[in-house]
Amino acid sequence: FDIGNKYGKAESFDAIQSKAQGQFFAVTVEGKFANGMQNFILGFNKAQKIVGIFLAPAKSNVAYAKPVYADTNLYSEKQVYVGVAGKQLAAIVTTPKNVKNFPMVVFVHGSGPSDMDETIGANKPFKDLAGGLASKGIGSVRYVKRTLVYPNEFSKPYTVKEEVLDDAAAAITAAKAVVGANPKSIYVFGHSLGGMLAPKLAATSPDVTGIILAAAPARKLSDIIAEQNKYMFDLSKDTTAENKKYLDDAIVQINKSRITQLGTTIKPDSSILGLPAKYWVDLNTYNQVNIAKSLTKKIYVLQGGNDFQVSKTDFDLWNSALSKKKNVTLKYYPDLNHLLSPQTEKGSMGQYQTPVNVAEGLVNDLAVWIKAK
């Protein structure tokens, strides 16, 4: 691919975004040329060595667009606050118009800081889902993740309780109190890490009717991060001994996160992969598959085939554990990525810069499943 021929002389390069991806960092660089723009994604390892350069998808001038299946005439949205301990989180309650006794969905984010729409690049999966479900008579609550607005709260040792579970429980309580909602029809839509933790929310909250596990790891988080790093290594096509060593070193660091107890050398605040040791011990002693197995509440497990962050390995584990249970529906969507949008390949983080809405077929499937008794 000859960039000079296509775009002419290079004029400037600016780093516009960086994102941690396991042990690697993906830095998006905006390139201005005489005849146009082309962005690049540079993959760096911990030693700040470039381990891969990818052409980012052509930057679309199209910003986020509301999906065609979200009919704003059919629902209304209201800003509220949810949360605990006097530090509340901005949230949006979406309610269908002219519908009585409607079900409610609470959206629970994946890893890392996130806004209420779960904005990633040019995509807003939670916003798509909220509008799509509301157009079919289903309300929802989505809220800003605590790590985004109160990062200072996470300077001391913490676990997923403080990061995810407490606020999800508060949002469930808020959903139950929405005027016009059926308090006996409250669903949790957990995405990625949120899906991994959804069985715990169902087990601890009597208000939860059912859970949706969307691209949810069935394995340990350490396994997922290791797999992502191997995938990025393969994608870089850099098979030099040096790059292989960086991958090996990354795996050594990832393996340190597999702890199940603290010790004399590992303190609660010891940092492993940027998270406190206490966090890893808590998560590693949690078995989401066993808890899901014990539930009698409705469960919908869904996974996309073009997801490079959580793989079919996880879906197969959910499937073998839960497929015989009458309360469980499992569905594999071959073309969906981690953001639940249709794609032609697995790709990399660069894919997320192009706006593609959550698949309409998935929204339809969820609406039918939620409404089914």
The rounded Cα 192 to chain-centroid distance in angstroms is 4
**Of the candidates 60, 59, 63, the residue with the CA atom closest to the CA atom of residue 14:** 59
Stated length of the chain = 373
Please, what sign has the CA dihedral across residues 326, 188, 113, 267? Answer: negative
Q: Where does 1-35 show beta strands of DSSP type E? A: 10-21, 24-33
- Quote the CA–CA distance of 251 and 236 in Å, as a whole number: 17
Most distant pair of Cα atoms in the chain: their distance: 64
Give the number of other CB atoms < 10 A from CB of residue 239.
9
Q: Centre a 10 Å sphere on the Cβ of residue 304 and count the other Cβ atoms it contains.
A: 28
Helix axes 166-176, 193-204, angle to 10 degrees: 60
- Token pair for 101: 């006794």
- Specify the amino acid at residue 74: L
Residues tagged active-site: 192, 307, 338
The residue type of 41 is I
Cα–Cα distance measured from residue 36 to residue 50, given in angstroms and rounded to the nearest whole number: 25
Return the ∠ at Cα 265 (arms to 263 and 268), rounded to 5°.
Answer: 65
Dig out the tokens for 55 from the structure. Answer: 């052409």
